Amino acid sequence: MIEGACHCGEVHWRLDAVPDSATACNCTVCRRYGALWAYDFEGEGITVSGPTTVYSRGRMIGFHFCGSCGCIAYWRSLIAEEGNRRRIAVNLRLTEPDEIAQVAIDHFDGLVSFDDLPRDGKCVADYWF
């Protein structure tokens, strides 16, 4: 299990396991946030708490950030999937670096092709240290 929190501590998330990878996306929103995303379903592998302000990009995704310190904490699907499950991704940059240092980075081209890109062998430690 790993946990993350915004800078002021009002917004928290918990991920039940250390993820195999984190996604760096280059879409018009994610590249501005600089987030590294880890995915699951809300209430299953990911739990979030605390008051957030939401920026909805279209009708698909709501980006949740702390209204006090401004940290982007997670995104949540605005549309439920089969079984009323909602996809959610937490920003791994809100946890302690040592906990996720060896997590592999996956790249997603959310700007042009909407394809997963080949792994380049880098992990979180290559970005932070």
Mean pLDDT of 59-73: 96
Mean pLDDT of the chain: 93
Domain that holds residue 83: 2-128
**Which pLDDT does position 127 carry in this prediction?**
81
Q: How many domains does the chain have?
A: 1
Instruction: Place 107 in a pLDDT band, splitting at 50, 70 and 90.
Output: very high
SS (H, E, C) the chain: CEEEECCCCCCEEEECCCCCEEEEECCCCHHHHCCCEEEEEECCCEEEECCCEEEEECCCEEEEECCCCCCEEEEEECCCCHHHCCEEEEEHHHCCHHHHCCCEEEEEECCCCCEECCCCCCEHHHHHC
CATH number of the domain enclosing 46: 2.170.150.70
